[in-house]
Structure 1
Amino acid sequence: MGAKDIIRNQKAEKLEAHEHTDSGKYGMAASAIKEATDAGRLILEEGGNAIDAVIAIQLALAAVEGMNTGIGAGGFLVYYDSEKDETKVLHGHSSAPAAVTPDLFIDEAGEMPSFDERSIDARSVGVPGIMRTLELAHERYGSMPLERLIEPAIQLAENEYRVNFLWERTIGLFKDRMGEEAKKIFVPNGVPLKEGDTVRQPDLAKSLKIIRDEGFKAVYEGEIADAIVKTVQERGGLMTKEDLQNYKADIYEPLWGSYKEYDLAFPAPPNGGGFAVAQMLKMLEPFELSQYPPHSWEKYHIIAEAMRLALADRHTYIADPKFVDIPLDGLLNPDYIKERGKLIQLDRRMEEAHGGNPWKYQEGEPVDQPFVNARQEGYETTHFTAVDRWGNVAACTSSIERIFGSGIMVPGYGFILNNDLTDFSPEPGTVNQPASGKFAVSSKTPTIVFHDGKPFFTLGSPGAETIVASVLQVLLNVLEYEMDLEDAIKERRIYNTPDLSIEWQDGIDEKVMEKLKELGYHSDQSFKKVTADDRLGDVQAILIDPETGRTYGAADEPRPGEAEGVDDLPEE
């Protein structure tokens, strides 16, 4: 059993009959919003490559998913170049302005405001990186002019857009996080937009036209940059024009992981999501999970325990490598992972889960850093991906951190600024403390899976730290249980933290959850059922037949997303 068997399990007719899934002979685009997927699929049909498609999708999402991403976002993009047979990561995470210090979130009384208060403070706004990422991707790998790639986004912003259920839901839940400028769009005249309403965003269309005419650099050097700085500084934030001008996106090597006969490419630190999934996969490999039914308590228990251990290591050691010596080789050393895996017992849960001692498995001196058990990150993000007819693969996860970011919309320019600096641990003295020019740890996990050296599977998800739970479990559902892609994404998921703040999706058998309670999971901590309308994550995924190139795509159902395949090529 293996990749060929997984591909045989994909039923093109079934996928094509479902609104969230599809198959395609010449490529695929998938995102959390149909109109953004439309933009990417059209680019693929017109002869654009996977990078062209994800650029078009990201720009379109600025108009149709502006509560989760946009011009003010940061992100990571993993790209496989079929011609060069190489995989790279484009790093566009938001960075801390130069004036940031470790006591960024400590007030004058020496107190730390709540996460909710910090997240709508202008001091939480990081230097956004996603537009520089698109610029770098376009220059290095793109094939179509920016004017064509940005046009769908301009049309979506300039013309009437029909509000979907995601807009209604997020506005209803988070309207109080918005400043007055954002409310003009999302809560016009004090009335929250509802599904079926129409909205126009002329200020955002103006910004997109400036980017079309001047290039992505306008966000960092031109009038948009001036507007960002003015907005942040008027509200007590620290960003300067120099911070924007000095921001550089980067291309670096992936963090490579493996699971049985598969190799996986993830973003490396300061990204923490890729590390966590890579470590969990190796920890879980000896358990041969498929010996337990996919709905069994044994499967969920073993996964939940592995999650506690990996996240404990992440919280203890992962940070911006320019500031912290990360024992990454030790953390991923087979002997260390075997040592950690032995802590997982089928008849009980661990009493406590803390970071281990990876320094035993690599050279270097350990640094005494406190373990930060509880983390708080924004709830949402977005993931999108594309595969083209030549076999190039692009997977991108981008975010303004929490839903509606900092709540601060740039007046006259129509986009919301991020609150990415709340991804730092607010307590001074931790590995992930704020610092000048530093990147906070991110959970974004855009992933490409390879089999026999060829890209086979790509996926990612939003959901803050629950991203690692969603990506891990969909990977296992496909690679270990050999489910078809739609079923693998629909399968109910579980999330657990080192301190036993456990979340589980409605639909997991109540007897399974009772067994986990017997094992001690409920403890005195959170034990939360996540409803069908509030699932863990929102996975977008594409499977690729390595022999024929045919693609199979699926979009999760918490958002109005679609996967759209390409079956026709333009006439030469």
Structure 2
Amino acid sequence: MSKDLLRLLIVSATLALTPTPTLGAGPSPAPENPPADGPTATSAMRRGGGPAWCPGSSRRKGVVAVNDPLAAEVGANILAQGGNAIDAAVAMAFAMNVVEPLSSGIGGGGFMVVHLAQSGETLALDFREKAPAASAADMLAGRAFSEVSTSGVSVGVPGAVLGLATALEAWGTFTLAETLDPAIHLAETGVPVSAFVAENAASPRTALEPETSAIFRRPDGAPLEAGDLLVQPDLARTFELIAEQGPSVFYEGEIAEAIVDAQRRARYDGGEGRMTLDDLALYDVVLRTPVIDDYRGFTVASMPSPSSGGLTVIQILKLLERFPIGDERRGFGFGEAKTLHVMIEGMRLAFADRAVWMGDDDVVPVPAAGLLADPYVAARSAMISETTRMATPAAGDPLPFDGPTPTPPPAPGDDEEGSTTHFSVVDAWGNVVSCTVTIEQLWGTGITVPGYGFLLNNELTDFNRQPAPAPGTNNVAPFKRPRSSIAPTLLFKRGEPFAALGSPGGATIINSVLQVTMNLLDHGMTLQQAVDAPRISITSPSGEVTVEPGVEQAALDGLAALGHRLTEGEIGAVNAVLVDLRNGKRYGAGDPRRGGAVGEACWRRRGRRCVAVHD
């Protein structure tokens, strides 16, 4: 038995002893041609759909939505070859390491929410980075963020390789080598630098380390520009090693040794990384129960702790459900001042709770049931007035609605920043994946593992840098996973999945996912309209409200008159897929904010397959 399979079985056995879902039977192996019968049309969205990108007539098909057209092509090709949604998601994750290395990669981690058509299960896979065994609550304290975030002390034990391999072995039909092959080809032959990569190529992090600048700068040291050819032979070799030897080479072999050496680099004395070979060898992936609740007759399933994303999205939805959002006659149409105002107030309340109550539930209990309990939500929602802005809200007390707890409320912690990448997939058989992967800040620490070509994360900066009073829900601790805002989300109607979505953007992820969900369910938009529509965001009880261009001036004036402080900026990059439950057609929407693309695989008459990519 291989070490990799043994590791998976150990994780599965551990999960079997806890109240989490089983892996289930998983999807059936992909047939040579998809079945002719369409999905059962049990219900219909108010409005949905959009253009089908694949030309000609088609039957059931698979669709991917991701931040880059090359990655979309990779995912669509996997589907066209008979792969399922999990196969496509894993292949796209590796491809995104090549085409958008500043946002994600094997030096980081992520979260995945999966719906399995055969068993009907909806599961959450946690491959978030972990703090090393030698971590301490104060190890990030007392230094500037710019120093901490570019030093090895901020590097968490990476989870991406084992997480993706675990998903593939549990639910996929392709081998790990088969899903790595497209990324190897892209890394070897080179990819054109995208506009998004070019916009961020001048970051000081691309010039901090010689190995990083050798890859992500021009030979003369100038930043990469859009259209430059980015060739990554070291990364291709690393992928080949993983394809040949499995995750063990990353967690126990030569790559592990190189990671430990690289994370010893620091910008200050004491900033060296604390990760050891034992930390890598002991890393585990966790299968979790999604956080699930209802909103206006739909079911929302998203990522639970250690991410705060799903819980906060659902809490805001519940806070707002009493308002007639979408009713233009009552002043609650899309983008109207009243609509935006109550959304802002809901965000402020939920982010106050998030700062106090959310962290790694495996270490400090998170009162999730209390935070979503109807009496608690009703009391918090009653604080929202349609006509006045509330004073800075404090966190509520959900404990009476959650049952006994051994700890008092902690003090609020730091709010994280960062960027990630997200992709969504639905296949021909109804399996659905929503997955977000990350290395935290753009370019992570800026430390590239010498000879292996991938950046290391700075995920531990998502912990409180200054320790909060006991119990320190999000304080650094050994083996703990830092709080996240990542929110891969699935939407259901009468048990049938009809949408998958998620976003990059640090804490703004929550508000991006929230608004696309509301655009679909409250405002009746098509999927692309829901993604394209301008957004607002506030991620603290007392901060400024970021507003995207496109919000009407009358609404801005109305918000300012209520006392909201406004600033302009771009928010998130949602990539989503949708199943029209009336006819089984699949659609995708890529977010133009970051070059989002849709890839579609379809089967035409006489078994012919086609792939189309739209950006």
Give yes or no for TM over 0.5: yes
C-alpha distance in 1 between matches for 2:326 and 2:529:
16
C-alpha distance in 2 between matches for 1:547 and 1:60:
33
CA contact 1:32–1:555 (8 Å) conserved in 2: yes
C-alpha distance in 1 between matches for 2:190 and 2:311:
42
Q: What are the Cα deviations for residues 263-319 of structure 1, in whole angstroms up to 9, with x where unaligned?
A: 111111111000100101111111021121102001110101000111111110011
CA contact 2:54–2:601 (8 Å) conserved in 1: no
C-alpha distance in 1 between matches for 2:496 and 2:215:
45
Q: Which residue of 1 aligns with 2:28?
A: none
CA contact 1:354–1:371 (8 Å) conserved in 2: no
Residue 277 (structure 1) aligned with residue 319 (structure 2)? no
Q: Which one is further off, 88-97 or 363-372?
A: 363-372
Report the Cα offset of residue 353 of structure 1.
Answer: 1.4
Task: Go from structure 1 to structure 2 and tell me whether the alpha carbon gap of 1:24 and 1:237 turns closer, same or farther (over 3 Å shift).
Answer: farther
C-alpha distance in 1 between matches for 2:194 and 2:281:
36
C-alpha distance in 1 between matches for 2:74 and 2:114:
19
Q: Which residue of 2 aligns with 1:461?
A: 503
Q: What are the Cα deviations for residues 450-502 of structure 1, in whole angstroms up to 9, with x where unaligned?
A: 11111111100000000001000000000111101111111110011212232
Alignment of 1:493-508 (within 5 A): 493-496=535-538, 497-508=540-551
Which stretches of structure 1, 4 residues or more, deviate above 6 A after TM superposition? none
CA contact 1:25–1:566 (8 Å) conserved in 2: no
Report the Cα offset of residue 9 of structure 1.
Answer: 3.9
User: Which consecutive residues of structure 2, in runs of 5 or more, have no partner in the other structure?
Assistant: 1-40, 267-271, 610-615
Secondary structure, in 3 states, of the residue corresponding to 1:39? helix
Residue 548 (structure 1) aligned with residue 579 (structure 2)? no
CA contact 1:177–1:404 (8 Å) conserved in 2: no
C-alpha distance in 2 between matches for 1:33 and 1:142:
23
Residue 342 (structure 1) aligned with residue 382 (structure 2)? yes
Task: Go from structure 1 to structure 2 and tell me whether the alpha carbon gap of 1:307 and 1:286 turns closer, same or farther (over 3 Å shift).
Answer: same
Partner amino acid, structure 1, of 2:160: I
Alignment of 1:324-335 (within 5 A): 324-335=364-375
Residue 230 (structure 1) aligned with residue 261 (structure 2)? yes
User: Which consecutive residues of structure 1, in runs of 5 or more, have no partner in the other structure?
Assistant: 18-22, 107-111
Q: Which residue of 1 aligns with 2:24?
A: none
Q: Which residue of 2 aligns with 1:20?
A: none
Q: Which of residues 190, 193, 196 in structure 1 aligns to 2:227?
A: 196
Partner amino acid, structure 2, of 1:354: A
Aligned-residue Cα RMSD (Å) equals 1.9
Secondary structure, in 3 states, of the residue corresponding to 1:94? coil
Partner amino acid, structure 2, of 1:284: L
CA contact 1:267–1:446 (8 Å) conserved in 2: yes
Secondary structure, in 3 states, of the residue corresponding to 1:398? strand
C-alpha distance in 1 between matches for 2:90 and 2:325:
38
Report the Cα offset of residue 260 of structure 1.
Answer: 1.4
Report the Cα offset of residue 8 of structure 1.
Answer: 4.6
Secondary structure, in 3 states, of the residue corresponding to 2:326? helix
C-alpha distance in 1 between matches for 2:399 and 2:352:
15
Q: Which residue of 2 aligns with 1:289?
A: 325
Q: Which of residues 153, 158, 173 in structure 2 aligns to 1:123?
A: 153
Q: Which residue of 1 aligns with 2:437?
A: 398
C-alpha distance in 1 between matches for 2:451 and 2:77:
30
Partner amino acid, structure 2, of 1:406: T
Residue 167 (structure 1) aligned with residue 203 (structure 2)? no
Partner amino acid, structure 1, of 2:119: K
C-alpha distance in 1 between matches for 2:379 and 2:307:
24
Q: Which one is further off, 248-257 or 402-411?
A: 248-257
Partner amino acid, structure 1, of 2:428: R
CA contact 1:500–1:521 (8 Å) conserved in 2: no
Aligned length: 551
CA contact 1:485–1:553 (8 Å) conserved in 2: yes
Name the structure with the higher helix share: 1
Q: Which residue of 2 aligns with 1:45?
A: 80
Task: Go from structure 1 to structure 2 and tell me whether the alpha carbon gap of 1:163 and 1:3 turns closer, same or farther (over 3 Å shift).
Answer: farther
Alignment of 1:306-455 (within 5 A): 306-365=346-405, 367-372=407-412, 375-378=415-418, 380-428=419-467, 429=469, 430-455=472-497
Q: Which of residues 62, 73, 82 in structure 1 aligns to 2:117?
A: 82
Partner amino acid, structure 1, of 2:123: K
Task: Go from structure 1 to structure 2 and tell me whether the alpha carbon gap of 1:443 and 1:24 turns closer, same or farther (over 3 Å shift).
Answer: farther
C-alpha distance in 1 between matches for 2:335 and 2:584:
32
C-alpha distance in 2 between matches for 1:407 and 1:395:
27
C-alpha distance in 1 between matches for 2:398 and 2:158:
33
C-alpha distance in 2 between matches for 1:404 and 1:132:
21
Q: Which of residues 149, 154, 158 in structure 1 aligns to 2:188?
A: 158
CA contact 2:42–2:494 (8 Å) conserved in 1: no
Q: Which residue of 2 aligns with 1:518?
A: 561
Partner amino acid, structure 2, of 1:507: G
Partner amino acid, structure 2, of 1:404: W
Partner amino acid, structure 2, of 1:71: I
Indicate the percent of aligned positions where both proteins have the same amino acid: 37
Task: Go from structure 1 to structure 2 and tell me whether the alpha carbon gap of 1:237 and 1:66 turns closer, same or farther (over 3 Å shift).
Answer: same
Residue 205 (structure 1) aligned with residue 236 (structure 2)? yes
Report the Cα offset of residue 16 of structure 1.
Answer: 6.9
Task: Go from structure 1 to structure 2 and tell me whether the alpha carbon gap of 1:8 and 1:493 turns closer, same or farther (over 3 Å shift).
Answer: closer
C-alpha distance in 2 between matches for 1:498 and 1:207:
44
C-alpha distance in 1 between matches for 2:47 and 2:356:
42
TM-score by structure 2 length?
A: 0.87
